Amino acid sequence: MLTHPTLDKLEKLGFGAMAGAVAEQDRIGGFDAMPFMERLGLIVEVEANARDHKRFVSRLRIAALRQTATIEDIDYRHARGLDRKLMAELATLKWIGRGENCLIVGPTGTGKSWLSCALGHQACRAGMSVVYVRVSRLLEMMALARGVGRYERQLKSLGRVDLLVLDDWGLAPLSSEGRRDLMEIVDDRHARRSTIITSQLPIDAWHALIGDPTIADAMLDRLVHNAHRITLSGHSMRRKSSRELDDKA
């Protein structure tokens, strides 16, 4: 007799999944003989899983990953120098807990952004906060924040993110303002939070890219010394995928 009012109350209290579980048990039947705490446990588990999924979806939305990529879907068939053992270690996310970085370099089309998004997705699944942004866009954001008086707030926000993914590092020379912005971000996160950087340029070329030798020394010391490195090689996987589709057509 109290089933429907109870479901309504559960919905109003924000326990929609729990209400659905109760209704489903009532529809299926056969649960009356089950001990109360066991039956309640099943209902609560449904609510907990629904809330976990909702938080995961929210983390993915905030992360704004460029590509839909997962660790399970990594393609090891192409000869591009991708180390399975290293990827398995990175997939544990223990390096993020230690505040270490990951640098992914290689020619265009070898899957740098895809791998960074797969690691970002893995971190979201583990309940970590993630933000993906192209370096050029990040510098625009920092310039805008400075102009409207939100620079310090933006820095603090980036400093709190568990995993910051900086994509397309080195596509254009850095301005003096851009160098300072990146230095502030890197310094705030050093040994506290983890950063993934992808770049077409080899790491040895980053010093010259940064420009100012003093800032370059300080920035690279914070980025590189505790970083896991993935160096990809070979031809563009996009071209290979296109050819494979042509062959199937």
| 25-40 residue pLDDT tens | 878 877 877 888 888 8
What is each CA distance from 86 to 71, 76, 89, 95, in whole angstroms?
Answer: 12, 12, 5, 11
Mean pLDDT across 130-145? 96
Instruction: Report percent pLDDT > 70 for the chain.
Output: 93
**Residues 228 and 112 reside in one and the same domain:** yes
Output 240 or 129, whichever has higher pLDDT.
129
**Residues 48 and 169 reside in one and the same domain:** no
Which of 91, 53, 52 lies closest to 70, judged by CA?
Answer: 91
Tell me which of 62, 86, 103 is where a domain ends: 62
Output 138 or 4, whichever has higher pLDDT.
138
pLDDT digits (tens, 9 = 90+) for 180-218: 999 999 999 999 999 999 999 999 999 999 988 999 999
What is each CA distance from 52 to 55, 59, 88, 212, in whole angstroms?
Answer: 5, 11, 24, 45
pLDDT digits (tens, 9 = 90+) for 160-172: 999 999 999 998 8
Q: Tell me the pTM.
A: 0.82
Overall number of domains in the chain: 2
Which of 125, 115, 94 lies closest to 194, judged by CA?
Answer: 94
Whether 157 is covered by a domain: the verdict is yes
Whether 54 is covered by a domain: the verdict is yes
Q: Residue for token digits 């938080």?
A: 55
Mean pLDDT of the chain: 89
Mean pLDDT across 231-241? 71
Judged by DSSP in three states, 20 sits in helix
Whether 248 is covered by a domain: the verdict is no
**Residues 147 and 46 reside in one and the same domain:** no
For residue 240, the model assigns a pLDDT of 53
**Residues 81 and 24 reside in one and the same domain:** no
- Residue 160 CA to residue 112 CA, distance in Å, equals 24
For residue 195, the model assigns a pLDDT of 98
Mean pLDDT across 3-8? 77
Beta-bridge partners for 163: 130, 194
Mean pLDDT across 38-43? 83
**Residues 45 and 95 reside in one and the same domain:** no
Q: With bands split at pLDDT 50, 70 and 90, how would you rate the model's confidence at 247?
A: very low
Instruction: Report percent pLDDT > 90 for the chain.
Output: 64
Neighbours of 15 (CB within 10 A): 20
For residue 245, the model assigns a pLDDT of 32
For residue 187, the model assigns a pLDDT of 95
Task: Show the domain range for 48.
Answer: 3-62
